[in-house]
Amino acid sequence: MRFIAGVWRLAIAALCFVGTYEAWTIPNRWVYFTFQTGFMLGIVMLWSGAASLLKGIQPPAWLKGCLTVYAIITALVAFLLMPPDDPHYVPQVLGIMTNTMLHRIAPVMAVVDFLLFDPHRRFKPSYVLSWMGYFPIYLAFVVIRAQLWPHSGPSVGGNPYPYTFIDLGQLGWSQFIVNIVGLAIGFLLVALAVFLIDRILPEKSLLRSQ
């Protein structure tokens, strides 16, 4: 089972790296939340997969939980808010669109990894709020970047805002703040759900992988 877990985690890492590869030639792709967190998920899964195969030290529970929260948020946004990928625009690898790899397949696999292969009851209550820390940093990055380079993309026409629901230029401050509060509540609910699921599941992983 340790071998299966290791291969599963390395497969997630591969999907994340392939899904973000275009950002290395189109740097403004890194503005997307999913590119940033997807790449980090790839690094953590590469570490975790190698540790499973080599009986090494696994990533800290806080870090693994944090990327699991972001993977769930990515999947929820992809399945509920994003339009279907356009095969005429999105690159494909082995017949699978890279956006599908990054936004749907890898996050779902990461959640399965958390449920089946990770040991549980390791998260502290303080983790829930600390996992939220990246959210305001990301928003500040997006807004400051937009003010400094207002035509830098990645959206159509050079719009610097990666998502319409945080497009300060189109929304104005009032609606922007309303949207941010809603997003923060969503982040918090997902983080709390991951924490509670970790507490409910047995301490030892459902499928022994360490």
Segment 14-73, tens digit of pLDDT: 999 999 988 988 999 999 999 999 999 999 999 999 999 999 999 999 999 999 999 999
Distance between CA atoms of residues 133 and 41, nearest Å: 16
Domain assignment of residue 208, yes or no: no
Q: Per the structure, how many domains does the chain have?
A: 1
| pLDDT of the residue at 100 | 87
pLDDT of residue 185 exceeding 70: yes
Mean pLDDT over residues 185-205, rounded? 95
Q: What gap in Å lies between CA 159 and CA 150, rounded to an integer?
A: 7
Tell me: pLDDT of 189 over 60.
yes
The band of 210, judged by pLDDT with boundaries at 50, 70 and 90, is low
Q: Is residue 207 a part of any domain in this protein? A: no
CB 106 within 8 A of CB 38: yes
End-to-end CA distance of the chain: 9
Residue 210, domain member (yes or no):
no
Query: Residue 89 pLDDT > 80, yes or no?
Result: no
Give the integer Cα–Cα distance in Å for 5 and 116: 9
How confident is the model over 107-166, as pLDDT tens digits? Answer: 999 999 999 999 999 999 999 999 999 999 999 999 999 999 999 989 888 999 999 999
Question: Is residue 104 pLDDT above 90, yes or no?
Answer: yes
Q: Structural domain of residue 155, as residue ranges?
A: 1-200
Report the percentage of the chain scoring pLDDT > 70: 93
Give me the helix-helix angle, 61-80 and 106-116, nearest 10°.
140
Tokens encoding 94? 């082995």
- Does 17 reside within a domain? yes
Interval 174-197 mean pLDDT:
96
Residues 123, 65: contact at Cβ < 8 Å?
yes
- Please state the pTM of the whole predicted model: 0.91
* Residue-level pLDDT at 1: 80
**Alpha carbon separation from 146 to 35, 103, 143, 179 (Å, rounded):** 18, 24, 5, 18
- Is 8 within a domain? yes
Domain membership of residue 205 (yes or no) is no
pLDDT reading at 85 higher than 90: no
The pLDDT of residue 86: 63
Taking each helix axis from N to C end, the angle separating 106-116 and 33-54, rounded to the nearest 10 degrees, works out to 40
Q: Is residue 88 part of a domain?
A: yes
Per residue, what are the HEC states of 49-67? HHHHHHCCCCCCHHHHHHH
